[in-house]
Structure 1
Amino acid sequence: MSPAISGPDAPEKAPHPRMFVGVLAFCGVVVAVMQTLVVPLLPHIPALTGATPAAASWLVTVTLLTGAVCTPVLGRVGDMYGKRRVLVAALGVLVVGSVLCAVSSQIGVLIAGRALQGAALAVVPLGISIMRDELAPARVLSSVALMSSTLGIGAAVGLPVAAMVIEHSDWHTMFWASAGLGVLDIVLVLAVVPESPLRARGRFDALGALGLSGALVCLLLATTQGGEWGWGSGRIVGLFAAAVVIGLVWGRYELRVASPMVDLRVSARPAVLFANLAALLIGFAFYANSLSTAQMVQEPKSTGYGLGASIVVGGLCLLPGGLSMVALSPVSARISARYGPKVTLALASGVLAVGYLVRFFTSHSLWLIIVGATVVASGTALAYSALPSLVMRAVPVSETGAANGLNTLMRSVGQAFCSAVVAAVLANVTFRVGGHTAPTLHAYLLVFLIAAGAALAALAVTLCIPGRPAGATGTTGVAGTVGERGPHTLVREDA
Structure 2
Amino acid sequence: MTSSEGNAQGDTPGNSQGDSRENSLPRALLLIGVVMAVVGSVGGPLITSVATTLHVSLAAAQWTLTVSLLTGAVSTPVLGRLGSGARRRPVVLGTLGVIVAGSVLTVLPLPFGVLLVGRAAQGCGLALGPLMMASAREHLPKARAASTIAMISVASTAGVGFGYPLAGYLTDVGGIRLAYAAALGLAALAFLAALRFFPASNQPVAPAPDAAASLLLTASVSVLLLVLGEASLWQHHLALAVGGIAAGLVLLGAWTLRERALPTPLVDLRLLRHRAVAGANAAMLVAGVGMYLLLSCITRYVQTPRVAGYGFGLSTFTAGLFLVPFSVVGFVAGRLSPWLRARLSAAALVTAATAVVIAAFALFAVARGTIAGPLVSMTLLGLGVGAFSAAMPAVILEVTPARETASAMGVNQVVRSIGFSLGSTLSALLLAAHTNPGALFPADEGFTAAAWIGAVVTALALGISFTLRPRRTVVATATAP
**What TM-score do the two structures reach when normalised by structure 2?**
0.91
Aligned twin of 1:418: 423
- Could you give the per-residue CA deviations for residues 31-64 of structure 1, whole angstroms, max 9, x where no partner exists? 1123331222212332211212221111121112
Residue of structure 1 equivalent to 2:258: 253
Pairing 1:393–2:393 present: no
Paired with 1:35 and 1:439, the residues of 2 have a C-alpha distance of: 29
**Whole-angstrom distance in 2 between the partners of 1:8 and 1:427:** 54
Match of 2:479 in 1: none
- SS at 2:441's partner residue? strand
The CA deviation at 1:220 is 1.0
Tell me the CA shift for residue 26 of structure 1.
1.3
Please show how residues 164-175 of structure 1 align to structure 2 within 5 Å: 164-175=169-180
2:440 alignment partner, SS class:
strand
Shift of 1:79: 1.1
2:27 to 22, 43, 62: 22
Shift of 1:311: 1.9
C-alpha displacement of 1:428: 3.0
Bigger shift: 393-402 or 27-36?
Answer: 27-36
Match of 2:443 in 1: 440
Give the direction of change, closer, same or farther, for the CA distance of 1:8–1:21 in structure 2 (3 Å limit): closer
Instruction: Indicate which of 138, 146, 156 corresponds to 1:141.
Output: 146
1:150 paired to 2:139: no
SS at the partner of 2:311? coil
CA distance in 1: counterparts of 2:93 and 2:371, whole angstroms: 41
Partner residue of 2:276? 271
2:224 corresponds to 1:222: no
| 1:455 correspondence with 2:438 | no
- The amino acid of 2:95's aligned partner reads A
Aligned-pair distance for 1:219?
0.9
Which residue number in structure 2 is paired with residue 126 of structure 1?
131
Q: Which residue of 1 aligns with 2:477?
A: none
Distance of 1:259 and 1:128 partners within structure 2: 21
TM-aligned CA deviation for residue 449 of structure 1: 1.9
Distance 2:96 2:149 in 1: 19
Q: How far apart, CA to CA, are the structure 2 residues paired with 1:170 and 1:6? A: 49
Distance 1:187 1:444, change over 3 A: same
Q: 1:338 to 1:85 in 2, by over 3 A?
A: farther
Task: Summarize the alignment of residues 340-489 of structure 1 with structure 2, pairs less than 5 Å apart.
Answer: 340-431=345-436, 437-467=440-470
Query: 1:226 offset after TM fit, Å?
Result: 4.8
Aligned to 1:102: 107
Q: 2:89 aligns with which of 64, 72, 84?
A: 84
**1:115 alignment partner in structure 2:** 120
- Following superposition, the deviation at residue 295 of structure 1 comes to 2.1
The 8 Å contact of residues 146 and 329 in structure 1, kept in 2 or not, is answered as yes
Deviation, 1:5, is: 4.6
Mean CA deviation greater in 227-236 or 43-52: 227-236
* Secondary structure at the counterpart of residue 207 of structure 2: coil
Residue matched to 2:15: none
Cα distance change, pair 196–299 in 1 and its aligned pair in 2 (3 A):
same
Report which stretch shifted further, 280-289 or 398-407. 280-289
Give the equivalent residue in structure 1 for 2:478. Answer: none
How many residue pairs were aligned?
Answer: 465
Paired with 1:128 and 1:275, the residues of 2 have a C-alpha distance of 17
Q: Report what 1:491 is aligned to.
A: none
Shift in Å, 1:20: 1.5
Summarize the alignment of residues 181-330 of structure 1 with structure 2, pairs less than 5 Å apart: 181-199=186-204, 201-228=206-233, 232=237, 235-330=240-335
Q: Aligned partners of 2:401, 2:46: CA distance in 1, in Å?
A: 43
Measured after TM superposition, the shift of residue 350 of structure 1 is 0.4
Out of 47, 64, 80, the position equivalent to 1:59 is: 64
The letter of the residue matching 1:322 is S
CA offsets 1:86-109 (integer angstroms, 9 cap, x no match)? 222222222122111111352211
- Using the TM superposition, give the Cα deviation of residue 27 of structure 1 relative to its aligned residue in structure 2, in angstroms: 1.0
Structure with higher helix content: 2
Counterparts of 1:395 and 1:407, CA distance in 2: 13
Q: SS state of the match for residue 263, structure 2? A: coil
Q: Distance in 1 between matches of 2:350 and 2:319?
A: 29
Contact 1:226/1:236 (CA < 8 Å) preserved in 2? no
Give the aligned residue type for 2:169: M
> Which secondary structure does the structure 2 equivalent of 1:338 belong to?
coil
SS, match of residue 117 in structure 2: helix
1:218-262 CA-to-partner distances (Å, cap 9, x unmatched) read 111111125247564565344222212211121112112101011
**RMSD, aligned CA:** 2.2
CA contact (8 A) 2:72 2:124 kept: yes
| Superposition TM-score, scaled by structure 1 size | 0.89
1:275 and 1:112, CA in 2 relative to 1: closer, same or farther beyond 3 A?
A: same
Answer whether contact 2:330 2:383 (CA < 8 A) is retained.
yes
Inter-CA distance 290–128: structure 2 relative to 1 (3 Å threshold): same
Contact 1:97 / 1:112 at 8 angstroms: preserved in 2?
A: yes
Q: Measure, in 1, the Cα distance between the counterparts of 2:113 and 2:404.
A: 37
Q: 1:289 to 1:95 in 2, by over 3 A?
A: farther
- 1:7 & 1:228 partners in 2: Cα distance? 48
1:16-35 CA distances to partner (integer Å, 9 max, x unpaired)? Answer: 32321111111111111233
In 2: Cα distance, 1:385 partner to 1:243 partner: 30
User: Per-residue displacement from partner, 1:258-301 (whole Å, max 9, x unpaired)?
Assistant: 01011111123211111111111222222223322222112111
Q: Return the alpha-carbon distance in structure 1 between the equivalents of residues 267 and 208 of structure 2.
A: 13
Higher deviation after alignment, 127-136 or 196-205: 196-205
Supply the AA of the counterpart residue of 1:456: A
Task: Tell me how far apart the structure 1 counterparts of residues 319 and 346 of structure 2 sit (CA, whole Å).
Answer: 33
Match of 1:48 in 2: 53
Q: Structure 2 vs 1, CA of residues 400 and 334 (structure 1 numbering), >3 Å: closer, same or farther?
A: same
Counterpart for residue 339 of structure 1: 344
Alpha carbons 1:270, 1:466 under 8 Å: kept? no
Q: Which amino acid letter does the alignment assign opposite residue 445 of structure 1?
A: T
Q: Which is bigger in relative contact order (C-alpha 8 A, separation at least 6)? A: 1
Cα-to-partner distance string for 1:156-215 (whole Å, 9 max, x where unaligned): 111111111121222111111111111111111221222221236434322211111111
Q: Is the 8 A contact 1:99 1:179 kept in 2?
A: yes
Gaps (5+ residues) in structure 1? 471-495
> Post-superposition shift, 1:386?
0.6
* CA gap 1:112/1:321 in 2 versus in 1, 3 angstroms: same
- Structure 2: where are the runs of 5+ without partners? 12-17, 474-481
